[in-house]
Structure 1
């Protein structure tokens, strides 16, 4: 089987992919496009051959039963009987063309069934095919024409054992039964195709949801990498810049700066290994990824102080461990990014970190630094830190504001929800 058909099998309902031989050719063409002949006509399946042969035998059986009745029909000459049988035989043979020309065959059967009693079975088979394969407007026109010819047929060739009106009623009932059967088969096929379309739409939506989940996961990991690594790498940059600008610094300061650089590089590598481990594991949860909460804020401030920053912490939260993990993690990341920005853009200034709140009142966080003094060394950055902080606060259901203070410094203020 070609690659095209294999791909198309994957889009069809799995329960039908292995049972194509029991499906009608028209349905197979809808489920598996380009599976027919080079000219575009679908190939007959095993089921089609069985159904076509059964309809041919049914039409022939009706014709043979009618042949016996021809001998008892009064006023019918032998020549007319031979013509009737020839037309009936041609009509039965034409049943094999019902799939290729359903409308043409049904239209031709209207006059044929008017002049030939043995063509009645073929006429019913053509009407059934029209009901299955073509829109209702074709069926309405051909079916109405067939019903209108029945009174004329029974007037020309009355049934010897039945009244005139009874013959018309039986013929109309038989036509309606065949049409109803064909419409039932058509509705079942349309239902199957609609289920196929719904399955394809569901697969497409599931694929889109999976892609969106992957994109959101990648964005979350990217934010995590920025928050974790930017803090460490800023320490490296600041202390490396200090060594560059003060090559004559005392040995103790040089040793302390080198120690901070070494420790920050080691911790950055550790954090990077943890994040890459999450990527390799393809785990949907956050296991193995650095996830500090508000409890770790003291350690963050101590780390910044060890790096040479002047940081004052005003923690007015009675129990930091009681803060929800998602809220505490967001507050920690905001404080971490704000301290990183203060270290880059206002080195040597005093920074005040304030956090307060209670269940039901929300959590308020503020990081403020004094205006920088002297020339500030240029530290490259992406400029996306404050945008990421705003996004984090919004996703957590809170707000974040930032901007210069009246004294010339800079302040980042966040308010996060803390439900009871």
Structure 2
């Protein structure tokens, strides 16, 4: 498989590109030097064979011109050494057959080692080594000796060249270019390995954070289940017992010989109804607590984390509040509520729930006015509550001032999370008002199609 270069920042990538262009120019100049020498040596040998004295001013032969043109093409092809190194190495071998030197073939062999599998490097290296040996041997035995490049390096003037000279020179050239390719390949692999290690380290860090958060969620879920769940269960049991006692007391009043007045019977009925509301509310709270604990333990599960409350459930929430004895006047007019984004609809439900809970906590006996209006055409959903403050809570704090509890703070965080806004405060008539505006978002098309 070809080796891929690791990603680099823009500044580093620019420097690398400049370095590649510099290497291309340098290698191209090396091939051009080989072409110039091979062309001049070819014409010099032909002139010596014809009995002429080689001279730099002698005109270039037609065959020499053809060799020069082929060599110039090889110089231009150096820039594609990374894209087609195998094919260009074979072209360089063919150039050796045309009396050119082996430089172009050796350069492409270097990039075969860098970018191609080892099996390609082996068979291409064998062919290039054979062509290089032929080119070196041809140069060493060339006549006259002045046209031989390698003879001037490995033999003294007039001394014969040993049979081992072509082998030594060929092995040295293969070792030089092949070793350079091996070094470049190793450096590229190390750079890629560094990127992979950094990526894996980041993934491990992310997984560690996820495991830590999941452990914390499990701990919180366990504490909530053991504490709040236990208390709700006790509340449900005692509410059931209270309901049974109220029913038994009502039966005793009916069976009493002297009878019972209307006030006593009404009191017993109200006690039974209140106990039933407490028991049903506690059971509903336990069920909702289990759902919330599942979300806390499995936040990524689509089935668990799916919204469970919609705008349609606001009616039941209002009925429960009225049944529990809360003096509530509600006006709800929402157009096409089913088209609202489910998470946003559940957030609206939770906001209404918290507003009613907050009013019940701080002004239990005061009538509360609840309004919810909006729709797709308006592009928003507006939720508001208003109630008179009891005398002990007057004068009221200014808007945004510190208040006991976290109800309004939690509502504001939820509203800001969905891109809405919230205002709250009391006016001169001691009416505490809360106004929440949420943007209207439609159900995602993909979600509709999936349903």
Normalising by the smaller structure, the TM-score range is 0.3 to 0.5
TM-score normalised per structure 2: 0.44
TM-score normalised per structure 1: 0.47
